[in-house]
Amino acid sequence: MPRRRTPHRHQQRTQQELSETSLGERQLGTVVTRYGAKLDIEDEHGQRHRGTSRRKLDDIVCGDKIIWQANKAGEAVVVERLERTNLLSRPNDRGHAKSIAANINHVIVISVVKGHLGDAYQLNLNLIDHYLVAAENQNITPVLVFNKVDLLTEEEFERLGRDIETFKQIGYEIIYTSTKTERGLEPLETQLKDNTSIFVGESGVGKSSLINKLLPEIDVKVGEISELSGKGKHTTTTTMLYHLPCGGELIDSPGVREFGLMLKEQMSIARGFREFQPHLGLCKFNNCSHMHEPGCVIMQAVDAGKIEQRRYNNYRRMVDALTEV
């Protein structure tokens, strides 16, 4: 039996419908944050407005480009969501994808080799591959940042250069930074300028420290909104879009910061390995998994030293992990 609408809810509906007939002009905007059902929207002049979205548009996230209209109460009502270039999500407690942010074109992948898990030199190249595959699949340009280089001896710094040589060879931008000596902040700002970026990396690598360097004073408008919500400036747990003084936007999301980008079932691991791309489609079998088939051009390239053995091994590991049930 269908659930009967309570009179109260019916009344709410009617009121909503009434107010929607008297909405203001349609305007373009960007969602800068979302707290449950409430949204903060920035209009084309940089002005921020509190708002909500129509019920059927309940998947609006930070970074979404939207059309909104003012209602009589002065609130912004999102009436339409424009097409997204991508949508980042992270697994929730039950392992389902939870949407976090949209329309990101740069991901800053932060790693350290020291000052994270003790004093020994330690570099997790496979984790970097993982971030890269997710980024490539979402058409997001990754930038590799190695932070805390102030802790490295000259020998260790040279070793790092050798360890990440492959990433450089296959065309990734690499920046060495230190929030202590401020090394590398300018090249990082150059990468952030003109883009909408997100920072990812394990806990303790210095994401918050770098963000604080780039955003010494958070946009006044954000400050106002933080006050309204009763939340502190940088202690917020919600995903927020910030304008960087150097230009460009930063979407800061505690969820994405920790979990990185989610590898989804339908993602192509092979496509995520940039150096595989020129070879894709040339294997003997057009559905080649590049794992065991005869006539596999990828495996031939590995044997010929054109594709690094470590990257290929990690490709296999990632395919196995994704197909495991």
User: Which of 99, 209, 229, 300 is in the footprint of ligand GDP by CB under 6 A?
Assistant: 209
User: Which of 32, 66, 214, 296 is in the footprint of Zn ion by CB under 5 A?
Assistant: 296
Find out whether 53 and 40 touch, Cβ atoms under 8 Å: no
Find out whether 307 and 165 touch, Cβ atoms under 8 Å: no
> Mind giving me the DSSP string for 131-177?
HHHHHHHTT-EEEEEE--GGG--HHHHHHHHHHTHHHHHTT-EEEE-
Find out whether 71 and 51 touch, Cβ atoms under 8 Å: no
> Mind giving me the DSSP string for 162-218?
HHTHHHHHTT-EEEE--TTT-TTHHHHHHHHTTSEEEEE--TTSSHHHHHHHH-SS-
- How far from 194 is each of 187, 188, 189, 249, CA to CA, in Å? 13, 12, 10, 8
* Site stretch for ligand GDP (CB under 6 A), options 17-25, 69-77, 196-204, 270-278: 196-204
Query: Is residue 141 at the binding interface for ligand GDP, with CB under 6 A as the rule?
Result: no
Closer to Zn ion at the Cβ: 118 or 294? 294
The nearest distance, CB 234 to ligand GDP, in angstroms, is: 10
Binding mask 174-193 for ligand GDP (x = CB under 6 A): ----xxx-------------
Query: Is residue 206 at the binding interface for ligand GDP, with CB under 6 A as the rule?
Result: yes
The nearest distance, CB 26 to ligand GDP, in angstroms, is: 39
The nearest distance, CB 264 to ligand GDP, in angstroms, is: 24
User: Which of 116, 257, 290, 311 is in the footprint of Zn ion by CB under 5 A?
Assistant: 290
Query: Is residue 298 at the binding interface for Zn ion, with CB under 5 A as the rule?
Result: yes
Nearest to 136 by CA among 106, 110, 164: 106
Query: Is residue 148 at the binding interface for ligand GDP, with CB under 6 A as the rule?
Result: yes
- Chain positions contacting ligand GDP, by CB under 6 A: 115, 147-148, 150-151, 178-180, 201, 203-209
- Chain positions contacting Zn ion, by CB under 5 A: 283, 288, 290, 296, 298
